Every structure is written in C-alpha cells, then in structure tokens.
Structure 1
Amino acid sequence: MHGSRLLVGIAIALVAESSCIPDVEPDVFVLPRCDQVAPACGPEEKESCCAESKVVGGTFNRLNDAAFPATVADFRLDRFEVTVGRFRQFVAGYPATRPKAGAGAHPLAKDGGWDPAWDSSLPAGQEELRASLECDANFRTWTDEPAGNEAVPINCASWYLAFAFCAWDEGRLPTEAEWNYAAAGGNEHREYPWGAAAPSQDLAVFECETTTTVCPVPHVGSKSPAGDSKYGQADMAGSLFEWVLDYHVPLSGNCDNCAALEDGDLGRDARGGAFSHTAETLSTTFRVGELPERRLSFYGFRCARDE
C-alpha cells in the first residue's frame, strides 16, 4: 500500500462460487493530492472524490473473446473519473506539476513511463493550460474559479495531460487490459460494468443529442451504485470516454500484465463510452483510438496505482 494513503475502511465480501473472482466492496483511501478536495461525489454527493478500490487480479479474456486471454496483477483504480476539483490542484501548481522522465510507469510494462520527448505536447504554462481546457463552449467542464463543477469529471484533457496528472498524483494511467478487466468484472466477462442488463438512464449517462441539446455532464457517481462495476468503480460506462495507457492497436495473443507501447498510427486507446454517444459504446468490448493530442469534451480519465 502506498505510504501516503490513509486507510479509512475496508470491506470484503467473498462469493461462495469458486469459478468467479470474489466481489469486493471499495476500499476508501485519501489519495496523496486530495487534501483540498471536498467530499462531494457519489449519488448523495457526500463521498470522497478521491476514493479508490482494489481490483483483485486474475486471468480473463479481453473483449470477452477467448482468442485474447490476459493476466492482470492486483492494482487499485479510482472509484470516480478525475473531477474538476481534483484537477484544480494540478493546475494551481503548473508547470511545476509536469512529470519527470520515467514518471507514471507501470512496474510490469517495460518503457511505459513519461518520455521527455512528450514535454512539447503539454501546455507551456498555466495560462496555456487553462485555455486548453476550454475546448468546447457548450460542454467543457473546467472553470477558472470554483463555480459548481468541482464534482463533475474534467474533460478537454489530452492523453498527455491525463498521463501527467496521474503521474503527479503518484499514480498512472491504467493499461487497457487493466481497464477492461475492472469493467468486465474479471472472469465474469460482463457485457456492461453492472452486468448484462441493457443500458438505461438509471445505469449510465449516455445518448445526449448534442446537436440540438446542451446536456451538462452530471457529477461523478450519479448513477451509483446501480451502474457501478464489480470492484466499485462508477461511470465506467457512459459519462466520458477514458484514456488508457496503450496505443490503439489490434489485440493479439496472450497478455501477461502487458501494454501496447508501440505506436500503430491509430492513436491512444480509450474506453467506456460517453454522455454524447450511443448505447453500443458502453459495452466492455467497445474500444476506440484517438490522437493523443486531441482535447475533446467527451474524453476524461481515471488513475490507477500499484498494489
């Protein structure tokens, strides 16, 4: 366990069936950079926006396809997408909060840390960073001063900025295999994070008709607990697409704590669907690539940490 995290509570419930990975309720931790983040998340807007939970590792099939087996070690994953309020401290310290070489690496994925060649893909200074978060006049969530969006997920962040934040927060972006494993409930191979039930507005934030409607992105965890994943993560379907570490490349063969770290000219991978997208994007088998420098109102992220 990370030395600077304060353990608040742990609850673990085991399922008798040995064929499935046990259900695990979220462990609640105060993460390293959360001393100024108000507990305004979850369905009653009272939970720590910095909560995370342990994902018990194991073996499963990526995309629920036996052609793509994978093994994932235990790790921790944010319960919520990174919020505006949580991101605000990173902005306040910028550019000192930019990552050093090798920061944010997955310990089992070779060469997965920050590459200094990416420095030029980050904003030069705080003013440029603030401007970069205003990618969409109607749907951006950032405000230069706290103004009611502190528990809403931060959007308009490029892959580079998402990586930089997680490294600053003493974590990292999850690999695609880790994200898929957590969303699918490990070897339960769930069609959606909550199970097999068809998506509905009670389970996920999706299908806003953005061409005719301005749909404010709700605070994180607004569909919890009904829409939660097995390991307690909220909004792994809908809300915002989430950047992961990997390049977007065709899957192949067996994956043992792996990550796709060679550029296939298809951008970086993202998962989970968004408020502005259809139900088909909410499936745990849906994946999409995007240029890492893009800043989009329907993209966000959450961070992982090593167990």
Structure 2
Amino acid sequence: MGNEVLGAAARITTRGRAGVVVAVKGGESFVGTCEPILTVDGEGPERRVTVTDFFLEAETVTVSRFAEFVAATGYVTEAEKFGCAAVFVGLLEDQKLIAENVARTPWWVRVDGAVWNMPEGPGSSIEDRMDHTVTQVSWNDALAFAAWVGGRLPTEAEWEHAARGGNRRRKYPWGNEEPTDDEVFCNIWQGRFPQVNTLADGYFGTAPSRSFTPTGDGFYNLSGNVWEWTSDPFRVRSLSRQAKLRNEQSKKSADKVLKGGSFLCHKSYCYRYRIAARMGLSPDSASSNTGFRIAYDAQPCEGDAI
C-alpha cells in the first residue's frame, strides 16, 4: 500500500514511508556560477536553464527507509555484490579491517564487508543511526530505491534551483555567510583536515538527515553531511586548459554528478559545500559520505486545469 503526499496541484503516491516533500516552483533559472573557485570541476560558466515545477524531499533518504526498501524487495546493493566499499579511515575502530589504502588520499581505505547496514565493515552497526542518511549506496542503488518509491533522482539544475530557493544568486543554501571552524551552519570538517576535527558542529561522521537549521523552503542538509547523487552525467564546460582535459576524460567515463559536499569537506581541502560546487563519481561507487534524496515530477490532480 502506498502513501499519498499532497502538494499544490499534485498528488504523489509512494511505497514505504513517505518522506516530507517540498513543492519547488520552476521557471527560468541557472546552473553554476560566473565566479568559479574550482574551475577544474566545471563550476562555471554560469548557464541558463528552464526548470519545470517539481517536488523534492526535504531530507536525504535515511537508513530506516532504506532498510524498509531492502526488507520489502530483497534488494542487494552493489557494495554487497562487490564485497567491499570505501571507508573514511577516521571512522574505523579496527584498523585491521583496512584491505587497501588509496594512494593519493590515504584517509580513504577499502574495507571488505563495508555495506549500507555495516558502513565501516564487519562489527559496525546502524542501530544508533537509523535517522541518519543511508551511506555506502551507489548511484544504481539510489535509482533502484527511487523507482520503488515512485520517484527519481533530481537533476543538477533542480538540485541547485532548490538549494538557492529559486534563481537567487547565493553561495550556500542559507545565504552567503561563510562557515568557519567556529561558525557552524552544516556538517562539515572543523579544524585541520584530516588530522584534527574539533567537532564544533557536533559530528565526526554523518548527522541525522533532519539536523541543523533548514532552508526557508524546508530543506535539510543541502550543504555538508553527505554528497547527494543526481541523475546527470558529469561533464565539464569550463574553458580552462585543465578543465578541457578533464572534460575529454569525463566524456569517456560514465561518472555521475554529486552535489552538496560532505562531513569531510573543509575550505582548505574540499571547498565543495557551495551550491555551485560539484563532483563526479562512477555510478557503481559507494562510500562513507555518499547518499541521496528523492525528487518527483509534479503531476496535476484530477480536475485541476492544465
């Protein structure tokens, strides 16, 4: 039996427990920025887009909702099939679980048996984080969940439009005020990455999906906490030489766009919790800081004028 979520001139029927859904008004909008900071990622140039009305869940999909999906369908995630996933080394209580270090980013390690319900590998648990964002889920896993509930992943343009509250030019979902190691707006790293985290925001890893002050429209954690999968392929449109090279590489790959940054972002290392920031990752990848939220098409209710 599905759950009906009512919005302005729309009815959404979902399977499982429905998330809180926010109606987003479409119109002429834009993606990217005229003042890119990480040009190699293709943050710029700003480009105009037209966004149709849509609905977006207020928070990322939680562990408890994903558990319900698995229980109802018997779904097996890609990390389970591969037998391993990427884990932030600081989250490991048992360093013996490290199967392999990533050469240029030694704070990332491969852990055999790391999956959505044992995010740090054998012996780890989700019992105390059922209200946290589910992690260790690939793009393909996110698509499977979205199809089950009757939704989809948002496009990059939809994600940015929702984060900006329309076509406003603001740097972060809350405005333009810069987070610092003392001024906390979201779940990112405070201190010296990756050696010291002062925990000024209260979290070393993920935070509950519904934490920190929501945007004026009611969205939680669009910046920080976990990277969020979108439906779009990762392409770089910047004109810089380095970005052109990366664009050629991206055309040959199947990487998908992620938005929002994560609890591992810091201005000195991964300044990607800005709205225009982005990252590309292969669709079968799963990690400690990757999750997703669900979008829905706005469909007219019976009897509504079209």
Q: Please give the TM-score of this superposition, normalised by the length of structure 1.
A: 0.66
Q: Distance in 1 between matches of 2:169 and 2:262?
A: 21
Alignment pair present for 1:33 and 2:16 = yes
Partners of 2:70 and 2:53 in 1: how far apart? 30
* Structure 1 unpaired stretches of 5+: 11-26, 36-49, 99-121, 253-261
Q: Is the 8 A contact 2:163 2:275 kept in 1?
A: yes
CA distance in 1, matches of 2:126, 2:204: 20
For the residue of structure 1 that corresponds to 2:131, the secondary structure is: coil
Query: Given residue 281 of structure 1, which amino acid in structure 2 is its aligned partner?
Result: R
- Indicate the residue corresponding to 1:70 in structure 2: 49
Secondary structure at the aligned position of 1:165 is classed as helix
Shift of 1:285: 1.1
Q: Which residue of 1 aligns with 2:185?
A: 203
Task: Find out whether 1:143 has 2:117 as its counterpart.
Answer: yes
Structure 1 position 177 matched with structure 2 position 157 = yes
2:230 is matched with 244
The structure number with the bigger radius of gyration is 2
Cα distance in 2 between the residues matched to 1:73 and 1:162 = 22
Aligned equivalent of 1:160: 140
How many matched pairs? 235
Query: Letter of the aligned partner of 2:66 in structure 1?
Result: F
1:232, distance to aligned residue in structure 2 (A)? 1.7
State the identity as a percent: 29
1:79 matched to which residue of 2?
58
> Which residue of 188, 201, 220 maps to 1:234?
220
RMSD of equivalent CA atoms: 3.3
Which residue in 1 is equivalent to 2:207? 218
**Counterpart mapping for 1:45-64 below 5 A:** 50-64=19-33
Amino acid at match of 1:55: V
Q: Secondary structure at the match of 2:236?
A: coil
The change in CA–CA distance for 1:136 and 1:156 in structure 2 (over 3 A counts) is farther
> Deviation string for 1:110-137 (max 9, x for gaps)?
xxxxxxxxxxxx549xxx3696678568
Q: Counterpart amino acid of 2:280? A: G
Structure 1 position 183, deviation (Å): 1.2
Are 1:206 and 1:276, in contact at CA under 8 Å, matched by a contact in 2? yes
Higher strand share: 2
Aligned mates of 1:130, 1:155 — CA distance in 2 = 16
CA contact (8 A) 2:85 2:287 kept: no
Q: How much has 1:169 moved relative to structure 2?
A: 1.1
1 CA distance for matches of 2:194 and 2:82?
Answer: 24
Q: Residue in 2 aligned with 1:5? A: 4
Corresponding residue SS for 2:230:
strand
User: Which range moves more in the overlay, 143-152 or 191-200?
Assistant: 143-152
Distance in 1 separating the partners of 2:225 and 2:5:
28
Once the two structures are superposed, residues 35-84 of structure 1 have per-residue CA deviations (whole angstroms, 9 ceiling, x without a partner) of 7xxxxxxxxxxxxxx11101111112211347410110010001001110
Q: Does 1:278 align with 2:266?
A: yes
Secondary structure, in 3 states, of the residue corresponding to 2:265?
coil
* Residue deviations 1:7-36 (CA, integer Å, cap 9, x gap): 4x88xxxxxxxxxxxxxxxx9x8953107x
1: CA distance, partners of 2:272 / 2:218: 20
Cα distance in 2 for partners of 1:285, 1:188 equals 12
Q: CA deviation at 1:143?
A: 3.4
- What residue in structure 2 maps to residue 291 of structure 1? 282
Partner of 1:113: none
SS in 1 for 2:189: coil
- In 2, the alpha carbon distance for the partners of 1:142 and 1:301 equals 13
Distance 1:132 1:303 in 2: 25
> Which residue does 1:114 correspond to in 2?
none
Q: Where in structure 2 are there 5+ consecutive unaligned residues?
A: 35-44, 93-113, 119-124, 198-202, 239-249, 299-306
Residues 31, 232 of structure 1: CA spacing in aligned structure 2 closer, same or farther, 3 A cutoff? farther
Q: From the superposition, tell whether residues 131 and 233 of structure 1 become closer, same or farther in structure 2 (CA, over 3 Å).
A: farther
SS where residue 154 of structure 1 aligns?
coil
Query: Following TM superposition, by how much is the alpha carbon of 1:6 offset from its aligned partner in structure 2, in angstroms?
Result: 3.8
Tell me: CA distance 1:129–1:75, structure 2 relative to 1, closer, same or farther (3 Å).
Answer: farther
Tell me how far 1:250 sits from its aligned partner. 2.2
- Is the 1:30–1:51 Cα contact (8 Å) retained in structure 2? no
Question: How far 1:222 moved relative to its partner?
Answer: 1.5
Query: Is residue 265 of structure 1 aligned with residue 245 of structure 2?
Result: no
Partner amino acid, structure 2, of 1:206? I
Check conservation: 2:172, 2:274, Cα contact below 8 A.
Answer: yes
Q: Secondary structure at the match of 1:283?
A: coil
